[in-house]
Amino acid sequence: MPRTDTILILFNILYNTLMKYLYETHMHTSEVSACASSTAEEQVYAYKNKGYAGIIVTDHFINGYSTCPVYLSWARKMKHILSGYEKAKIVGDKCGLDVFLGWEFTIKGSDFLTYGLDSDFLLSNPNIDKLAIEDYSDLVRKHGGYLAQAHPYRDRPYIEFKSPVAHRLIDGIEVCNALDTFESNAKALAFAKRHDLPMQAGSDSHNAKTPYRCGVELDKKASSIHDIIEALKAKKAIPFTS
């Protein structure tokens, strides 16, 4: 074998061994989330520049802090909810950042990151924004989705329950949210360990100038959001913050 080929093969083995793929699990765009101040395009370039392999766009659902007008039909509301993700996907495809769909579903102030479902699910399930957590959890899982409670110990006046829901209702939990206190994150970590739940970290970025990196690290590139879900379930998605 020529020497250059051997060097290339060795380099590839080393590269694949050392290479980690960083994924954002929780972020917002100003098109859909009323509390966000950067567009989908600005967010995508920021994540690309920070070295992420991909992001899950988790804009607020219509029961959260959404820019969606209340007078629209269900179909048009869902089109609006997906618009941040769709813009991000176009920019991501151009610059080489994988963009996956999720949303942040709010019940009585508590937030649930929902992954693995699509526009067909949203269009064929009108008025899900009114569901209680038991029914939402059933529906999401029945359709093959993944549900993780975000920042479960966040303490704000608008949050009715300042602790996690019953662990059987969720598939995973955010143990590090960059906007939360150390104490809240530590309590979430203890809860996850107590119930043997898959763990994730997320920046909850609402602005492209967010200075830190947070998310999960995979040792293989995800070809779809289902690869990230499988890694989370198998506890092979390692939460990171830097």
Q: Under the rule (CB under 5 A), what is the footprint of Zn ion?
A: 35, 104, 204
Token pair 């293989």 in the structure block, residue: 220
Give the nearer residue to Zn ion in terms of CB position, either 31 or 204.
204
CB of 185 to Zn ion, least distance (A): 15
Greatest CA separation for the chain: 69
CB of 212 to Zn ion, least distance (A): 15
For residue 205, what is the DSSP state? B
Alpha carbon 32 to its chain's center: 15
Cα–Cα nearest to 216, from 204, 233, 197, 199: 199
**Residue number with the smallest Cβ distance to Zn ion:** 35
For residue 169, what is the DSSP state? G
CB of 204 to Zn ion, least distance (A): 4
CB of 221 to Zn ion, least distance (A): 25
Return the ∠ at Cα 237 (arms to 216 and 36), rounded to 5°.
30
Cα–Cα nearest to 137, from 172, 169, 171: 169
Give the nearer residue to Zn ion in terms of CB position, either 42 or 104.
104
Give the nearer residue to Zn ion in terms of CB position, either 179 or 236.
179
Give the nearer residue to Zn ion in terms of CB position, either 159 or 236.
159
What is the radius of gyration, based on Cα positions, of the chain?
A: 18
Cα–Cα distance for residue pair 40/34, rounded to 1 Å: 13
CB of 85 to Zn ion, least distance (A): 14
Give the nearer residue to Zn ion in terms of CB position, either 111 or 171.
111
